[in-house]
Amino acid sequence: MEKKIGAFAVRRQFGKVLQEVIARGDSYVVERHGEPVAAVVPIEVYRQWKRERSAFFETLRTTQQHVNLTAEEVESLANEAVKAVRSGA
């Protein structure tokens, strides 16, 4: 389950937050002044994110080599894709 928690509250309750992440797999979005600034997630979620990110960039490198794009062109396309995903397009 994903929960929201303020930065001040997470400072006071960090042990409890970690216990819920470990025991129940909960995730926390830490907010400062109502804006999300960080996340506390189970380590396996973080590791999966790192693996997927690494695979994504390896795919970009491979594609770049096959389609003869410059690194700047690939980066621009990647940024466009990220924006599209984040906007829900």
Give residue-wise pLDDT tens across range 14-44: 999 999 999 999 999 999 999 999 999 999 9
What is residue 87's predicted lDDT score, i.e. its pLDDT?
Answer: 82
Write down the mean pLDDT value for the chain. 90
Q: Check whether residue 50 and residue 35 sit in a common domain.
A: no
Strands (E), 1-89: 2-6, 27-32, 35-40
The model's pTM: 0.64
Cβ neighbors of 22 (< 8 A, separation 6 or more) are: 42
Q: Check whether residue 57 and residue 74 sit in a common domain.
A: yes
Find the farthest-apart pair of alpha carbons in the chain and give their distance in angstroms, rounded.
53
Q: Is the pLDDT of residue 9 over 80?
A: yes
Give the domain CATH number at 21.
3.40.1620.10
